[in-house]
Structures are given as structure tokens and as C-alpha cells.
Chains A and B, each alone.
Chain A
């Protein structure tokens, strides 16, 4: 090794990034119609499997909303071949991480497993999807757990704000205005038969996509998947209806104060409707907009509220696509005493995007999102997650590649046009905290009348 330099070197120039593209999958159709998408990523020794089944939450009966979530959580709680405890033991002994969840877009059942255990894992996955038995004692437990979880969500300011936000933004008759996992009243009404019926009607191979990502060398995954998932038939699965965008309430643009006396911080959530990924112009603008407005400590919001004022640990903005329609959300916690000024500044900064973005700001945003892609999609689970979330929206990862390419061509005009299309100054504002400290001050801001609701 050469002798140590004695003085500081000059700031080095940055070389342009080398070529990279999102991993290319191979696509197959299993015997029963399940779409299989394989990403062979050498060196990724934990294989990620994601199965997705799109359906809108409107397929849940109104009386038992949350049944889809309970059904998903119970898929590994006993199958035709194994008791709940036996099944849990099979998963643990093979080192499988298993999870299932429901969003506005449908059902996702995921597992991660060391490569050598993939065949057994796929067989266990088959059992969870095709032959869960929903034993009554486990039903009782999961309902009780969900009810406790609802109380936990009420106690956490960000979750409490989110619940109030959808209830304010969306029309109360629309499913989107109510929690995905159901509320106390509907969860309490769920019976075992409701879960069995929901599974029978909604879970089957039709419209299912299975994603497998990892180091697949030496494995015949198509054959393994066909034997595990391809033989499954369902005579009861019904076709899922098309998703609809959530209907916005006539009085969505208003302020709601959730009162939590004694809070030392105030959680603020400001939002409006946004696009989904099929937006006409191009989706590529929206991740960049979210980044420029509220995606880093030096983005527009935190440059003021964090780095200048010290009112917050951090506030984030993002466009959140749903299967149809979407949201533009900005949220974070601010010091209780700074609530009025923080809300005022926040709304001003959000409005400022309608006046445009500087060339340098745009370049930094585009470069951050596009040049971080190789690292963000370097692992099997990240690739599988991206493919699965897109599959739930009826898209493939070609969309990811096309978006990254389109992003590099964005200019300030395209971004301000995209922002103005959705940000019109009509905000739904939810503020969770000690209302007594700031209700009057917020009123004086002239952002509209505020409703106070209990925590």
C-alpha cells in the first residue's frame, strides 16, 4: 500500500451510474390458470414467494366488514391436513416466515424461506390457500385480537388520524371511508360461517398471480409450483367485480380535530385525492413530487419545519396509489405549542408546489428516485414485493421499468402540471392532539370551520 497522503484530497467528481435494469422475469401459466412470475436473482438465498388475488373490499358484506382480513390472518390456523399447532410447527421448523394481509386491492399471501426449503414451503402455501379450516377457537381468538388491535390503533396518533381522515375524505356510504380490517361493530358480528363463506367465494386460482424471486438455480420452480399450486381447483370462487374509486364526500375539504388532552405533540394529516398508477399523463411525476415536497430532511416541508424551526422530527408527503384512484398525504408530528404555525406553514408549502419547481429541485428528485432503484430492488423480497403490489393493480414490473425511464425525461413543467392536476387547495385536515391548545388559533387561520371529535 502507498504511503498515507498528508493533506486533504480534493472533492472527487461523480462518475455517471452504470447500466441497470429491473430484473426480467419469466412468465408461466399453471395448469389451473394461476399466473406464475419468476425472478432468478443469483446470490439471494432466501426465496420470496408472493401470491396475490385482486378483489375490491366491496365484496365483503357490509354487516361483517373486516371478514377478509380475519380470513387472511387465519389461513395458516389449521388446514384439512394439520391442526393449527401442527401447521405452525411445520412453518417454524422449516424457517418459513408466513404472512397474509388484505388491502383495498385484494389479498396477499407471502412467505420467505431458505432456498432449500422451497418445495415444502410451496406445499404448505397450497394448504393455506386451498384448505384452511378456520377452527372455532382460533376464530374466537382472532376476533378478540382484532378488537384489541382496534383499541391500540385508537391510542396511536398516526393511526387515529388515518382513521379520521378516510372517514372525512370519503363519503360515509363508501367502503373506502371505513377501516380495511373492520370496526368494532362489524368485527364483533363476524361468525365462523362468514369466514368460511368468504373464503369459498373469493379465494381460488382464478385471477391469482404467484411471484417467486430468489436464487432459483438448480430448481425447477415451474414444476414445483405446478404440483403445489397448479392442481388446486375451486368450484365456488366467484369472479371479482371491478374496483371503483372511493367516492369523495361532498364536504371533504374541512378540518377535524381529534381531542387528546395532555398530548405533548400534535399529529397532523393533510391530504386530498390523488392518482392511481394508470394516471393519464404519467405516474412517473408523482414519486418525484412526493420527494420534492416531503421526502427528505431537506425537502420543502422539513427544510422549514424541521431544519429551520425545529418543530418536528420529520414530516413526509407521498402520493399513495390505490387500485383505482389514490391519495396525496402529508403527515407527521409537531410540538404541541407549534400546532397553529405548523399547520399554517404546512398548507403554505403544499400550495407553493402549484407555483412550480426549480430545475435543480426537479433534477435532484428525479435522480434520487431513479438512481436509487438498483439498490432498492437488489434483494429478492424487494423485487417480489414490487411485482406483487403491481400484480394487485393489474400491472407487471415492466411498469416499473417504463416509469423509471419516463422519469428521466421529466422537466419542471411536467411536474407542476401533474401537481396542479391534483392539488387544488381543497384539503382534508385532521389534527390529533390537545385541542384546547390550538382550536382557537386554527380557527383564526381561516382554513374553514373545525369539527372536534373525541379520541
Chain B
């Protein structure tokens, strides 16, 4: 397969590790070479988190500026923050539901209105998929499934060399039975956002 570099960004607590674990499982079971780099430790406490995912025989588990093929955002401000690592034809898949930082709640910074920047985003890149991930997750049964909604949206773009069934199988393997139904629904809902 072609080499593919995916940068997933979000906020600590949004479940980016589960997102990448499921994607990793899909790659593993289909025999696709994969490597990832995860963020653990201090940054997980409400900070910016990212997972670098490389497919198709790339060895480096980190993605440099200008190398991102697909930018996946679990949070819109984090999607915007990661743009310096994209290039002009990077595909963007992002939730638009904001997570307000504690520092803003404490009145020490402001969270800008993103309506206009998100419009600009769609003009600046050839393929941009935006969706209210948390809202979709809530409708599927739990707002916590935002990560799986976003994974569904990534899968729905058809850019990955995996079938929808591959993803569903991996979710069944990894997600605890108690949360499985909501997560399967969340994946389907995310998938239909981007699948044409």
C-alpha cells in the first residue's frame, strides 16, 4: 500500500488513545504495517494530546511539518492549532464541538468564535470534513463516543485501505460489552457523515 501519515489531535480525556488503538487493531488484523506515537503522562491532564499514525511501511513514528496526509481533529481549536504541520493538499476530518480549556473558564484566556475560521478552513484545503462529533455521539447514546464517531468519519472518507467491516470487527474486539452498542452506533453515524 501507499504510505499514509495520519495526525490525530485532541484534548486529554477525549479518548484519543482508544481511537488510535482501534485503528491500530484494524491495521494489525489486515496485515498492514503500522506504527504510532502516543502521548502519555503529564500532558494527559486536560492538555493538548496527539497521536501520530503511520501506515504502509513508514518507520518513523513521528510526523513532521508538511508530512501530514490526513489531519483528524477531535476538537476544532486543536485542528486549527495543528495546521502548521499540514501541507496544501492535506485532508482534514474534524469535529466542530469545542472543549473549553480550564484557563478560559478561569478567565485567563479567551476561546475565539470559530465560525469564520472553520469556513476559511474549508476554502483553504481541497477536502475538509466537519461535523458536530459530540452531538452525533450523544445521539448514538453517549457523548464519550466522540472518538469513535471521529474514527467513523475517518473511515467514511474511503482514504484508508480498510473496509467498514474491518473497523466494526476491531471495535467489537476492543470496546467493553457495556459500551459496545453505543460505540457501534457512533461509528456508523460518523461513517455516514463522510461516506458519499
Answer yes or no: are A and B bound together in one complex: no
